[in-house]
Amino acid sequence: MSAGYEYGNARVRARRGDLLNLARYQELVILDTDRLLAALSDTPYRPDVVTATPRYRGTRLLYEALRANLARTLRELVTWYEGAAAVPVKLVVGRWDLRNVRTILRGQYARAGPDEIRAVLVPAGAVGEEVLGELAGQPGLRPTVELMVSWGVPTSTTAHAVSAGLRSFELSADLQALERALDRAAADHLRLALRDVEPEVARVLRAEIDQANLLVALRLREARSDGQDWDALETAEWFLPGGAVPVPVWTGAAQSEDRSAAVAIVLEAPLHPSWRPALERWTESGDLAVLMDELDETMTRRAASMSATTDPLGPGVPLAYVWAKENEVANLRTIGAGIAGGVSPEQIEEELVILQ
């Protein structure tokens, strides 16, 4: 038994009972947008639908309610744990800090308006909505990065790493220079933090890093096959530290002559066995978008099942709930987009990831 999880895990189990099941999704996919919103008003989404209603309509209202509900739910989750028990929960929820900063940088690069950027942020982690809103409202990338450094967002070390990458970006106009600096610094911070958390939490978060590295390796391999060249040093710089798979495995896969050879190298590494079928299908199709979707689903199923396979009084319970809740919100967005786009209920249902 892990000390400090009793109260929080009891709250999580109650919340998990509120998640939508297959029968409920089947009821929702046949509705129009207004009736979908009405149906969600009879669920825990009600306060968020009510709050969004004066400002928005239709699918935009749905997205805003889902965004607000996810942020509110995950913020509440963190407050149910104290001391050492709060550390892994904050690490898992804190993934949203990195996602939000990346979204802001991409929005600034694309010259999106502040309101457009704010509309897709999910202030669930330690960086609050007001701070994120200020970053989104800056007049360009440089002032955004300077404010990140001033405020230490998402962490002081990560902000300084992004600032160091700003010169490379300004010379090349390649946003990936900033994103690599952000992701590498955040992954290194996570690598150090994972030394002090339970193994089941570390395994899942390392698997996220491995998945990101896998997709980068395969993209680089495809680029080489299209005539672009990468030397070993350049290739190594693309990969994130802290995963279970050593970086030389990824560089080897990136430099492979064909897809089958790349996958053979990867499958010799300590990967979760559930990845094998998707990788083998990719050797035939070469479709990285499909592979990414399949790996995302595999990751979601693996993480969301932890509450049934780990200590009921341990960190696997809140970790599993985070993935299950994120998946539910993704499913509801898929339903809303499908309804708005005139997609048939059967097709919408095929796109959903049903965990129960």
- Per-residue model confidence (pLDDT) at position 201: 87
- Per-residue model confidence (pLDDT) at position 63: 97
- Per-residue model confidence (pLDDT) at position 232: 56
What confidence tens digit (pLDDT) does each residue in 189-221 have?
Answer: 999 998 888 888 899 999 999 999 999 999 999
- Per-residue model confidence (pLDDT) at position 31: 97
Contact status, residue 234 vs residue 224, Cβ threshold 8 Å: no
| Domain-wise residue ranges, the chain | 199-313
Q: Mean pLDDT in runs of 10 for the chain (356 residues)?
A: 83 94 96 97 96 96 98 97 94 95 96 96 95 96 96 94 91 89 92 87 92 94 75 74 92 91 92 89 94 95 86 91 97 98 97 91
- Per-residue model confidence (pLDDT) at position 230: 59
pTM: 0.93
What confidence tens digit (pLDDT) does each residue in 223-248 have?
Answer: 887 766 655 557 778 899 999 999 99
Range 199-313: architecture per CATH: Up-down Bundle (1.20)
